[in-house]
Structure 1
Amino acid sequence: MPTDCIPFRETHYFSDFICDYLDQKPELKDFYHRFPKLENFEAQIVEKQLAVEAQSRAVLVESLKKQYKNLQASELTAENIESLNAENTFTITTGHQLNLFTGPLYFLYKIISTINLTKQLKETYPQYNFVPVYWMASEDHDFEEINYFNFRGKKIQWNSKQTGAVGHFDTEGLDAVFDVISLEFGAGKNAEQLKSWFREGYLNHSNLADATRYLANQLFGEHGLVILDADDRELKRLFIPQMQKEMLEQTAFKTVSETNKKLEDLELKIQVNPREINLFYIKDGLRERIIESEGVYSVLDTNITWSKSELLEHLDEAPERFSPNVIMRPLYQEVILPNLCYIGGGGEMIYWLQLKSNFEAQNVTFPMLLLRNSALVKSEKQASKLNNLNIQNKDLFLDRHSFINKRVRKISNIDIDFSEQRQQLESQFKHLFDLAEQTDKSFLGAVKSQEVKQIKGLNHLEKRLLKAQKRKLADQIERCTELQEDLFPGQSLQERNTNFSELYLEYGNELIPEIMKALEPLKGEFLILNLK
């Protein structure tokens, strides 16, 4: 299974912010706790062990057992859930939205990164247990972000007028989507497996959270993955002190706003902005912001209001009605889990780096933050074509214009790079500038004007010759660009666009194990993987 790696910065698909974090730039040190190196986990374990109460572990295990009551958990998953009662067990967590049929490929990479890290930690620290957790974003309400997946250039979409937390959504209407994918997937053993997963998951479960749990369990249950739906009354009861502090003291707004100012002073682009109260209210298809004005608390765009005492009483009676937003969700996660490290994408890493001060204000241990593995999967046929066309892996990451120009220059039988001529021209004009300086400085402007004119003419000639060669080599260039488009659909990373079903149709049950063998969560580079 040949592989190649490229530094994240050299792909040009990751922000300077996240690349600076990976490079451990000193100016970012104050925004995280410990960098995710294997040797740093020991101190994180000791700190987290002191912070987690046995009662919290018992509540977590009981909630998980209830959530798995109607699901066939693997023996390893069942053992992992039970082990969470022990003080020497810790979690490695990733989170993701409830995207239809998993959404883009990076859903797989997130979870595989998490599973692989737990294995690596167990080898290094055998006296502890490490459990991989997938946190379902069941309380999210951005339905338009999750109601589709891409398949071979087509958008397979679920249309629904339901509102509120998506995990509560009834799966009504997904039978129509099943009819579409049945035609798209076609026939064959792998196609039938995909259709079976979709049918069992989405047509035989009443809500989106249960459907997603079923599918994730089918894909990763045998590897011990524990799937958590934190939209849970008893789990939220553990979070009451932090929610109370947030509503009464507006803790996150104060701390995160201050952090954001520091990041902006470093000219780094922040991901999220806090609100005065970073909690939603959930009820009967509603998920709306809680706001406060002159001592009165209310739910935006509703008639629901409370006094301070009424709010605290309601929070205690019905904690399940209160839902953390993007600022508070990470805090909730670290309160209810014995967690050491969160694994996420670049955008997630950035907003986590905005939150450390809020964790400190709430006296909650801040986890390690690890960028998930990223990969480009090439088939044997695609790898052979790239080799025949003499296209290097790093060239595939170029934007389309640069990619084409580089290919034209490479395969052309004439040299269309005028860099040497430009250097010669600049050298000649340097001599003319020196001459004008010594004789009559009034000629300096005329010399400069002539230099600009001639370099502009040279550049224009280079572009015209390049354009002519593009026409002459159109067939070869088209083959190259078609291959790049296959691997970078829509000129975007494959992992951000393609659904796993496209690869599963070709590789079947070998797909996940093969990717699992290749991904190294602590390596910190972009993987290019050739699958046979």
Structure 2
Amino acid sequence: MPSDCISYQKSGYFSKLMNDYLDEKTNLKALYSRFPKLENFSEQIQEKHSNFPFKNRELLVDSLKKQYQNFKTSETTLNNIKLLNEENTFTITTGHQLNLFTGPLYFLYKIISTINLCEQLKKEYPNQNFVPIYWMATEDHDFEEINHFWFKGKKITWQKESFGPVGRLSTNGLKEVFEQFSTELGIGENATYLKDLFIKGYLEHSNLADATRYIANEIFKEKGLVILDGDDKNLKQLFIPYAKEELVNQTSSEEVLKTNELLTKYKIQVNPREINLFYIEDNLRERIVFEDNSYKVLNTNYAFSESEILAELENHPEKFSPNVILRPLYQEVILPNLCYIGGGGELAYWLELKSNFEANNVTFPMLLLRNSVLIATEKQAEKADKLELTWTDLFSKQQDLISNKTKELSNFDIDFTSQKEHLKKQFENLYEIAVKTDKSFIGAVKAQEVKQIKGLENLEKRLLKAEKRILAEKLERITSLQNELFPKQSLQERKANFSEYYLEFGTELIDKLFEELKPLENEFSILVL
């Protein structure tokens, strides 16, 4: 089977909210400014240019230089950092947790989508510069979400206690993880590269933020990727007025709750707190709450009056960490950003935030669903051909796939639709007789119709079951192939780690992804290697 694609809406793996957003349904128009189309970036550029102070650029570049001072990187990345000091330079941003060894495959897809979009925009708008940004989620504190990755069906886990922001977490204990991973990798040139990447990333850096920066930089530095750590005192200074607004007026809660009223027909992704800020130290990240006329940090003895907490904010802005509701606002305050690229869950909560951006007079970015990819080997594609499977077949729910293929492979028609329609026509005549004679007879006719239709449905199910037994060997091969491509009947990209495929394909994996991923086309790519 050749490389191919399938629309996100037809893949069956995206929420109704995302499908409606991609279809540009009118009921969602109020939740975003511009849909991510190439021609819409012109207005987005103009709006962001007029609403982004130059002093923010200077501070951003200064912070990035400090963050990179102990890292070797490419001239392309260094030049991109310098370009951010120019008023005609804008960013395209994606964000990701500090997952161990990048976590699921879609880490690659997010960043490659971001880089490819920058290159596409440069061709369309040659007088502007576009810099790809990877925002490291260094202030998250849910260690259980990031302390592992899957390699060939095995879960490789970093056993450690963590209480504060994960970016500050010591990398002690990762030597044992490396020994387990090294054994699984075996030998060979690609295995050696992966081992070296792990060693230099985690065993030669003291904290998780630096380790993650090293790994992402090594994979993408030649493409000019700029990696940003928001856990930065200087950058937090820019956020002081917005954090003050949050503490004093709780604006974001009011605005997001109003927006969520427009999303009642969908699953609400996140609900705001009254105060959407955490207080952080090296081993602490706890919510700030307002109780008994005092600002308190949960599970601590910290308590502040209003004047005290505002003084703390002015003197130590690095101790105030935005949660999921406010982090996007912080990002857009410090970056000359045009577009955020994220997964379906991420964009679902971004769609709750536009009114809060407007209340804070910050430009709301365009929202682009990241590229999704299914990687298949040539051998798997050949199997699919022999089994007469299309990619649409393989994306089906497994029960539907097996039932449909059974009907297709059977020597006779298992679908009793025509028999049921014939039966219904016969009962139409009986209804006419019942109406003309005794109306109480209608109920008996209806009961008999239901009984006979049900009988046909049961026969259809029994026949289908019998055919499944006869075709069991071929159906087993179909099921086996789908399970290889969709582990645990879920998306491969949400489970498998890139190392599993890099081990087999090396740099071809990355090169092919850059070649194939087209961020503005909204299609699920199938990549045959």
With structure 1 as the length reference, what TM-score do the two structures score?
0.98
Task: Confirm whether residue 184 of structure 1 aligns to residue 184 of structure 2.
Answer: yes
Q: Distance in 2 between matches of 1:473 and 1:202?
A: 50
Q: Which of 423, 428, 431 in structure 1 is aligned with 2:421?
A: 423
- Separation in 1 of the partners of 2:357 and 2:377? 44
- For residues 110 and 417 of structure 1, the distance between their equivalents in structure 2, rounded to whole angstroms, comes to 43
Distance 2:383 2:41 in 1: 43
SS in 1 for 2:307: helix
SS of the residue 1:178 aligns to: helix
Q: CA deviation at 1:347?
A: 0.7
Offset, 1:174: 1.0
Give, in angstroms, the shift of residue 277 of structure 1: 0.6
| Residue 431 (structure 1) shift | 2.2
Letter of the structure 2 residue corresponding to residue 418 of structure 1: F
Q: Does 1:336 align with 2:334?
A: yes
Report the residue type matching 1:492 in the other structure: S
Q: Which aligned pairs between 1:161-240 and structure 2 lie closer than 5 A?
A: 161-240=161-240
Cα deviation for residue 179 of structure 1 reads: 1.0
Q: Tell me, in whole angstroms, the C-alpha distance in 2 between the residues paired with 1:96 and 1:527.
A: 21
Deviation of the 1:310 alpha carbon: 1.0
1:254 counterpart letter in structure 2 = E
Q: Which residue in 2 is equivalent to 1:472?
A: 470
Cα distance between partner residues in 2 of 1:513 and 1:431: 67
Match in the other structure for 2:390: 392
Partner of 1:364 in structure 2?
362
Deviation (angstroms), 1:413: 2.0
Give a deviation string over 1:75-109, Cα, whole Å, max 9, x none. 11011001000000000000000111111111111
Q: Could you list the per-position Cα deviations for residues 143-170 of structure 1 after superposition, in whole angstroms to 9, with x for gaps in the alignment?
A: 1111111111111111111211111111
2:47 equivalent to 1:47: yes
One-letter code of the match for 2:213? R
The corresponding residue for 2:504 is 506
Give the partner amino acid of 1:30. A
CA distance in structure 2 between the aligned counterparts of 1:295 and 1:43, rounded to whole angstroms:
45
Please, what TM-score do these two structures have when normalized by structure 2? 0.98
What's the counterpart of residue 299 of structure 2?
A: 301
Q: Report deviation, 1:227.
A: 0.4
| Amino acid paired to 1:278 | N
Please give the secondary structure, in 2, of the residue aligned with 1:98: coil
Q: For 2:525 and 2:327, how far apart are their aligned partners in 1?
A: 30
Q: CA deviation at 1:437?
A: 2.0
**How far, CA to CA, are the matches of 1:422 and 1:151 in structure 2?**
50
Matches within 5 A, 1:2-13: 2-13=2-13
Q: Distance in 2 between matches of 1:437 and 1:504?
A: 72
Once residues 393 and 422 of structure 2 are traced to their aligned partners in structure 1, the CA distance between those partners, rounded to angstroms, is 29
Alignment of 1:379-528 (within 5 A): 379-528=377-526
User: Unpaired segments of 5 or more residues in structure 1?
Assistant: none
C-alpha distance in structure 2 between counterparts of 1:125 and 1:508, whole Å? 34
The residue that corresponds to 2:63 in the other structure is 63
Aligned to 1:370, the other structure's residue is in SS state: strand
Structure 2 portions without partners, runs of 5+: none
In structure 2, the partner of 1:86 is 86
Q: 2:309 aligns with which of 305, 308, 311?
A: 311
Q: 2: distance between equivalents of 1:191 and 1:428?
A: 69
Looking at structure 2, the residues matched to 101 and 339 of structure 1 have their Cα atoms a distance apart, in angstroms, of 27
- CA apart distance, 1:295: 2.9
What amino acid sits opposite 1:293 in the alignment?
E
CA deviation after TM superposition for structure 1 residue 470, in Å: 1.4
Q: What amino acid maps onto 2:136 in structure 1? A: M
Q: How far, CA to CA, are the matches of 2:407 and 2:198 in structure 1?
A: 47
Alignment partners' CA distance in 2, 1:150 and 1:439: 71
How far did 1:480 drift? Answer: 0.6
What do residues 53-72 of structure 1 show as CA deviations (whole Å, max 9, x unaligned)?
A: 22111111111111111111
In 1: Cα distance, 2:526 partner to 2:427 partner:
46
1:74 aligns with 74
Partner of 2:18: 18
Alpha-carbon separation, structure 2, partners of 1:204 and 1:36: 40
AA aligned opposite 1:321: K
Q: Is the 8 A contact 2:269 2:349 kept in 1?
A: yes
Deviation, 1:262, is: 2.2
Q: Match for residue 119 of structure 1? A: 119
Measured in 2, the distance between the counterparts of 1:109 and 1:301 equals 38
Partner Cα separation in structure 1 for residue 114 and residue 276 of structure 2: 28
Query: Which moved further from structure 2: 156-165 or 118-127?
Result: 156-165
State the distance in 1 between where 2:130 and 2:122 align: 7
- Superposed CA RMSD in Å reads 1.1
TM-superposed deviation, 1:292:
1.0
Aligned-partner residue type, residue 330 of structure 2: Y
- Give, in angstroms, the shift of residue 270 of structure 1: 1.2
Shift of 1:293: 2.0
Tell me the residue number matched to 2:251. 251
Deviation, structure 1 residue 415: 2.1
Matches within 5 A, 1:134-173: 134-173=134-173
Letter matched to residue 78 of structure 2 = A
Runs ≥4 in structure 1, deviation > 6 angstroms? none
Deviations 1:413-458 (A, max 9, x none): 2322212212222222222222322333222111111111111111
Q: CA deviation at 1:21?
A: 0.7
* Distance in 1 of aligned mates of 2:433 and 2:497: 65
* Distance in 2 of aligned mates of 1:438 and 1:4: 60
Distance in 2 between residues matched to 1:170 and 1:371, nearest whole Å = 33
State the one-letter code of the partner of 1:203: L
Give, in angstroms, the shift of residue 503 of structure 1.
1.1
Q: Is the 8 A contact 2:168 2:282 kept in 1?
A: no
Query: In structure 2, what is the Cα distance between the partners aligned to 1:501 and 1:54?
Result: 41
Deviation larger for 325-334 or 29-38: 29-38
Question: What is the alpha-carbon distance in structure 2 between the residues aligned to residue 162 and residue 130 of structure 1?
Answer: 36
Between the aligned partners of 1:234 and 1:48, the Cα distance in structure 2 is: 22
**C-alpha contact 2:165 2:282 (8 A) present in aligned 1:** no
Task: Supply the AA of the counterpart residue of 1:143.
Answer: F
Aligned partners of 1:433, 1:519: CA distance in 2, in Å? 59
Q: For 2:379, give the aligned amino acid.
A: K
Residue range with higher mean Cα deviation, 348-357 or 521-530: 521-530
What is the CA-CA distance between 1:111 and the residue it aligns to?
0.5
- Greater Cα offset, 3-12 or 88-97: 3-12
Distance 2:430 2:4 in 1: 49
**Do the aligned residues in 1 keep the contact of 2:92 with 2:338 (CA within 8 Å)?**
yes
**Among residues 271, 287, 290, which one is paired with 2:288 in the alignment?**
290
State the shift of 1:393 in Å: 0.6
Distance 2:402 2:201 in 1: 43
